[in-house]
Amino acid sequence: MEFTKITNKRINEEYYRMKHSSGLEIIVYPKKGFNSTYASIGTKFGSVYSKFMFNGREITVPDGTAHYLEHKLFESEDGDAFSKYAKVGASANAFTSFDMTCYLFSCTDKFRESLEILLDLVQSPYFTDETVAKEQGIISQEIKMYDDSPDWRVMMNLLQGLYHNHPINKDIAGSVETIAKITPAILYECYNSYYNLNNMVLAVVGAADPDEVLRIADEKIKLNEKVETSVIFPDEPYRIVKDYTEQILPVGVPQFELGFKEDSTNKYATSKELICTSILLNAFIGESSELYRRLLDEKLINSSFGNEYLEGLGYRSVIFSGESAEPKAAAEMIRDAAVKLHKDGISSRDFDNARKVVYGRLAAGFDQKQNIASELINNHFTGREIFEAVNMAAEITKEDINQRLEYQLDSDNCCLSVVKSE
What contacts 28, CB < 8 A, 6 or more positions away? Answer: 3, 15, 16, 17, 203, 204, 205, 208, 209, 210, 213
Answer yes or no: 70 catalytic.
Answer: yes
CA torsion sign for 292, 293, 294, 298 is positive
Single-letter code of the amino acid located at 200: M
Instruction: Provide the 10 A C-beta neighbour count for residue 74.
Output: 18
Cα-based angle 166, 168, 171 (whole degrees, multiple of 5): 130
Measure the CA–CA gap between 127 and 186, rounded to whole angstroms.
Answer: 10
C-alpha closest to that of 50 among 280, 296, 232, 237:
232
Catalytic residue (one of 70, 262, 311, 323) = 70
C-alpha closest to that of 357 among 251, 284, 272:
284
What contacts 390, CB < 8 A, 6 or more positions away? Answer: 8, 10, 11, 359, 362, 363
Active site residues: 70
